[in-house]
Chain A
Amino acid sequence: MDLLSFFLTCLKVSMITFGGSAPLPLLRDDLVAQRGLLQDEDFASALAIGLITPGPNGLFVIPIGYFVGGVPGAVVGALALCLVALSVLILLWLHKWIAHWPATKAALRGIQAATLGLILTLGYTIVVATVHTPLDLAIAVAAFALLAFTRVDVLLIIAGAAAIGLVAHLPGI
């Protein structure tokens, strides 16, 4: 896949979704399901890297770009994020015109609801691709409970999961 089509794909999926994590399943549709360029594991990895490294949510596009085309791919992913962010300035002009339409708010709520469905789909996809043993399932459930119901830091959750994975796969145990 050339970098230009990757750039355009990133632009497309970012412009039709709201919020950092939302375009991930769309990108997966395109790169895994349609083009067969990456694996589901690559997407789960990109999400984990995005969570571990600093910055706002949504930077997982950068590791995905890296998997697609090395450092230039990563830079292209970052550029697409920047371009979409800059386009918010259009909203400053648009806002005066459409903000008072009742349909605008309702449509945005519907899009947010579908975004919620997207994130669920993402979780479901990762479960299907990576949860094979009872231990995998236990890790997934524990990570959910810790992030949803406690104030434990995401970094600690990831580090804990890595430690469990390391011990469970030590040769000779």
Chain B
Amino acid sequence: MDVSTCALGPPRLGALFLTFGKVGLLSFGGGSTTLVLMQHEIVRRRGWLTDREFLSTMALSQMWPGVHLLAQSVLIGHRLRGLAGAAICLLGMMLPATAVTVLFTAFFVVLRENPLGAGMITGVLPATAGLAFAVAYRFARAEVVGAPRAVGATVLALAAGSFALMALLRVSSVVTVLGAGVLAIFLIRRAGGPDGSA
């Protein structure tokens, strides 16, 4: 397989399914691994999209709720083979990964009943708290680096405010998230020009 594939017309649905299945199954560690593998397979290895086209599917997927990488699979599939392509790419990404996750959860439930397994789990649970904070830290860095200082500060203030509302005052998260969106329209436009970007 090389870049010449794209000269042969759109990829077959079977090839799409296998490629996305491979990405879904091999991407341990979530987010960035999946993205890197997807870019490698679709742009570098198969030449189905250019880097620029790949980035545009990524940007669009970021603007939609839900799991961005699943939405991006749908957008790539749609671009390559229309609605059928969208469905096949999503299925490829989800099917093998879901099967492994279900099997592992069943295994976990058995493990939990066993004293030694329960010991392992008491070690893992506090680690997940640390991992969640690390994800928040990386997310905060991505939001603030490169943005105008006032915009970055506004984003951090909104994040801290949402945290205080939800974690300490137990305000509904739906209300908090939507409220932050509305508030940002006023705050960020004031802080960083018309659209809040640099």
Q: Is there a chain A Cβ closer than 8 Å to B196's Cβ?
A: yes
Instruction: Tell me how far the C-beta of A34 lies from the nearest C-beta in chain B, rounded to whole angstroms.
Output: 10
B131 touches A143 (CB 8 A): yes
Size class of the B contact interface (CB-based, 8 Å):
35 or more
Q: Tell me if B131 and A147 are in contact (CB < 8 A).
A: yes
Q: Does B66 contact A15, Cβ atoms closer than 8 Å?
A: yes
B70 contact from A21, A82, A89, Cβ within 8 A: A82
Given A55-B27, A165-B119, A166-B120, the answer on whether A102 and B132 have CB atoms closer than 8 Å is: no
Contact call B60/A117, Cβ cutoff below 8 A: no
Question: Total number of A-B contacts with CB less than 8 angstroms?
Answer: 390
How many Å lie between the Cα of A109 and that of B153 in the bound state? Answer: 12
Contacts of B115 in A (CB 8 A): 169, 171
Pair B30/A56 contact, Cβ less than 8 Å: yes
Say yes or no: A102 contacts B177, CB within 8 Å.
no
- B132 contacts across to A, CB distance below 8 A: 21, 47, 119-120, 122-123, 126
List the B side residues contacting A116 at CB < 8 Å.
Answer: 136, 139-140, 143, 155, 159, 162-163
Please state if B105 and A49 are interface contacts (CB–CB under 8 Å). yes
Name B residues whose Cβ lies closer than 8 Å to a Cβ of A: 24-31, 34, 60-71, 73-75, 78, 83, 86-87, 90-91, 93-94, 96-98, 100-102, 104-106, 108-109, 112, 115-116, 118-140, 143, 151, 154-156, 158-163, 165-167, 170, 172-174, 176-185, 187-189, 194-197
A residues near B (Cβ < 8 Å) are 14-21, 25-26, 29, 33, 41, 44-45, 47-59, 62-63, 66-67, 71, 74-75, 78, 81-82, 84-89, 91-92, 95, 102-103, 105-127, 129-131, 136-137, 139-148, 153-155, 157-158, 160-166, 168-171
Q: List 6 A-B contacts (CB under 8 A).
A: A88-B61, A107-B182, A110-B155, A116-B155, A125-B167, A165-B122
